[in-house]
Structure 1
Amino acid sequence: MSLQESVAVLPGVGPKRAQNLAELGIVTIEQLLGYYPFRYEDIQEKNLLEINDQEKVTLKGVVVSAPVVNRYGYKKSRLQFRMMQDHAVFTVSFFNQPYLKDKAVVGEEIAVYGKWDAKRKALNGMKILGGKQPEDFAPIYHVSKAVRQNTLIDLIKVAFEKYGREITENLPDYLLQKYRLMPRPQAMLAMHFPKNPEENRLAKRRVVFEEFFLFQMRMQGLKQSERSEKNGIAIRYDVERLKRFTQSLPFELTGAQKRVTNEICYDLRSKKHMQRLLQGDVGSGKTVVAAIALYATMTAGFQGALMVPTEILAQQHVESLNQLFDPLEVSTALLTGSTKARERRVILEALANGEIDVIVGTHALIQDNVAFSNLGLVITDEQHRFGVNQRKVLREKGLRPDVLFMTATPIPRTLAITAYGEMDVSVIDEMPAGRIPVKTSWIKPKQLEPTLDWARQELANGHQLYVICPLIEESEALDVKNATEIYEHLKEFYAPDYQVSLLHGRMKNQEKETIMEEFKENQSQILVSTTVIEVGVNVPNATVMFIMDAERFGLAQLHQLRGRVGRGSEASYCILVASPKNEMGKERMKIMTETTNGFVLSEKDLELRGPGEVFGFRQSGLPQFLIADLVNDATVLEVAREEAEQVWLLDNWRELPEFAPLAAVVLPTEAGETYFD
Structure 2
Amino acid sequence: MSSLETILEQSLASLKGVGPKTLQALQHLGITTIEDLLTAFPFRYDDYRPKKIAELIDQEKVTLRGVVATAPVLVHFGRKKNRLNFNLQIDDQVVLVTFFNQGYLVDKVTQGAELTVFGKWESARQQLLGMKLLSLNKKERLAGVYRSSKEIHATQLQRLVKQAFERYHLQISDLLPQNLQKKYHLLSRQQMIHDMHFPADQAAAQAAKRTAVYEEFFLFEARLQYLKQLDQQQSGLQINYDNQQLKKFISQLPFELTAAQKRSVNEICHDMHRPIHMNRLLQGDVGSGKTIVAAIAIYAAVTAGYQAALMAPTEILARQHADKLFRLFEPLGVNVSLLTGATTSGSRQRRELLQQLQKGAINVLVGTHALIQNGVEFKNLGLVITDEQHRFGVNQRQALRLKGVQPDVLALTATPIPRTLALTVYGEMDVSIINELPQGRKPVKTFWLKKTQLQQAFNFIKEQLKQGQQAYLVTPLVSESEVLDLQNAEQLSEDATKFFAPEYQVGLIHGKMKSDEKEQIMTAFTGGKIAVLVATTVIEVGVDVPKASVILILDADRFGLAQLHQLRGRVGRSSKQSYCLLVADPKTDYGRERLQTMTETTDGFVIAQRDLELRGQGDVLGNKQAGLPEFKVADPVKDLRILQTAQIDASQIVKQPDFGKTAATKPLLHYLQRQPLGFD
Distance 1:414 1:664, change over 3 A: farther
Distance 1:9 1:287 in 2: 52
**Which residue is 1:43 aligned to?**
48
Distance 2:365 2:34 in 1: 52
Counterpart code for 2:191: Q
Answer with 316-325 or 400-409: which moved more.
316-325
| Secondary structure at 1:115 match in 2 | strand
Distance 1:219 1:126, change over 3 A: same
2:192 matches 1:187: yes
Q: Which residue of 58, 77, 80 corresponds with 2:82?
A: 77
2:392 matches 1:392: no
Mapping for residues 134-283 of structure 1, pairs under 5 Å: 134-143=139-148, 148-228=153-233, 230-283=234-287
1:227 touches 1:275 (CA, 8 Å); kept in 2?
no
Counterpart code for 2:251: Q
1:459 touches 1:525 (CA, 8 Å); kept in 2?
yes
Counterpart code for 1:291: A
Counterpart code for 2:317: L
Answer with 603-612 or 517-526: which moved more.
603-612
Q: Which residue of 293, 301, 305 corresponds with 1:297?
A: 301
2:423 touches 2:431 (CA, 8 Å); kept in 1?
no
Q: Which residue of 559, 570, 586 corresponds with 1:553?
A: 559
Distance 2:36 2:573 in 1: 52
Distance 1:40 1:313, change over 3 A: same
Distance 1:293 1:569 in 2: 26
Mapping for residues 218-617 of structure 1, pairs under 5 Å: 218-228=223-233, 230-325=234-329, 327-339=331-343, 341-412=347-418, 420-609=426-615, 611=617, 613-614=619-620, 617=623
Shift of 1:611: 4.7
1:7 touches 1:18 (CA, 8 Å); kept in 2?
no
Gaps of 5+ in 2: none
**Which residue is 1:131 aligned to?**
136
**Which residue is 1:56 aligned to?**
61
* CA deviations over 1:166-203 (Å, ceiling 9, x no partner): 43323211111122111122212111221111111111
Gaps of 5+ in 1: none
Distance 1:300 1:494, change over 3 A: same
Counterpart code for 2:322: V
TM-score by length of 1: 0.91
Distance 1:615 1:197, change over 3 A: closer
Distance 1:34 1:348 in 2: 48
**Which residue is 1:634 aligned to?**
640
| Secondary structure at 2:673 match in 1 | coil
Distance 1:71 1:298, change over 3 A: same
Distance 1:144 1:516 in 2: 42
Distance 1:400 1:189, change over 3 A: same
Shift of 1:600: 2.3
Counterpart code for 1:554: G
1:70 touches 1:79 (CA, 8 Å); kept in 2?
yes
| Secondary structure at 2:331 match in 1 | coil
* CA deviations over 1:261-315 (Å, ceiling 9, x no partner): 1110110001010111111000101011011111111221212222222232223
Counterpart code for 1:676: F
Distance 2:469 2:147 in 1: 54
Counterpart code for 2:59: Q
Distance 1:414 1:208, change over 3 A: farther
Distance 1:184 1:277, change over 3 A: same
Distance 1:139 1:270, change over 3 A: same
Distance 1:160 1:388, change over 3 A: closer
Distance 2:285 2:20 in 1: 52
Counterpart code for 1:583: D
Shift of 1:402: 0.4
Distance 1:366 1:562 in 2: 31
Counterpart code for 2:459: D
Shift of 1:562: 0.6
* CA deviations over 1:519-562 (Å, ceiling 9, x no partner): 23332221111222122222222111111222332221111111
Distance 1:253 1:444 in 2: 40
Distance 1:208 1:367, change over 3 A: same
* CA deviations over 1:434-476 (Å, ceiling 9, x no partner): 2221122222323222322233222233322110122222233
2:424 touches 2:644 (CA, 8 Å); kept in 1?
no
Q: Which residue of 651, 654, 662 corresponds with 1:648?
A: 654
Shift of 1:51: 3.3
Shift of 1:672: 4.0
Q: Which residue of 87, 101, 109 corresponds with 1:96?
A: 101
Distance 1:665 1:414, change over 3 A: farther
* CA deviations over 1:583-638 (Å, ceiling 9, x no partner): 33333222222221212222333444455534663796533443333443333332
Shift of 1:103: 5.0
**Which residue is 1:113 aligned to?**
118
Counterpart code for 2:275: K
Distance 2:229 2:197 in 1: 37
Shift of 1:379: 1.1
**Which residue is 1:67 aligned to?**
72
1:498 touches 1:526 (CA, 8 Å); kept in 2?
yes
1:387 touches 1:620 (CA, 8 Å); kept in 2?
no
1:441 touches 1:575 (CA, 8 Å); kept in 2?
yes
1:82 touches 1:91 (CA, 8 Å); kept in 2?
yes
| Secondary structure at 1:628 match in 2 | coil
Counterpart code for 1:377: L
Distance 1:102 1:158 in 2: 31
Shift of 1:328: 3.6
Distance 2:624 2:467 in 1: 45
Q: Percent identity?
A: 53
Distance 1:70 1:195, change over 3 A: same
Distance 2:534 2:328 in 1: 31
> How many corresponding residue pairs?
672
Distance 1:575 1:119, change over 3 A: farther
Counterpart code for 2:441: R
2:50 touches 2:65 (CA, 8 Å); kept in 1?
yes
Counterpart code for 2:607: L
TM-score by length of 2: 0.90
2:390 touches 2:623 (CA, 8 Å); kept in 1?
no
Distance 1:372 1:27, change over 3 A: closer
Distance 1:7 1:270, change over 3 A: closer
| Secondary structure at 2:338 match in 1 | strand
Answer with 207-216 or 417-426: which moved more.
417-426
Counterpart code for 2:515: N
1:111 touches 1:128 (CA, 8 Å); kept in 2?
yes
2:236 touches 2:277 (CA, 8 Å); kept in 1?
yes
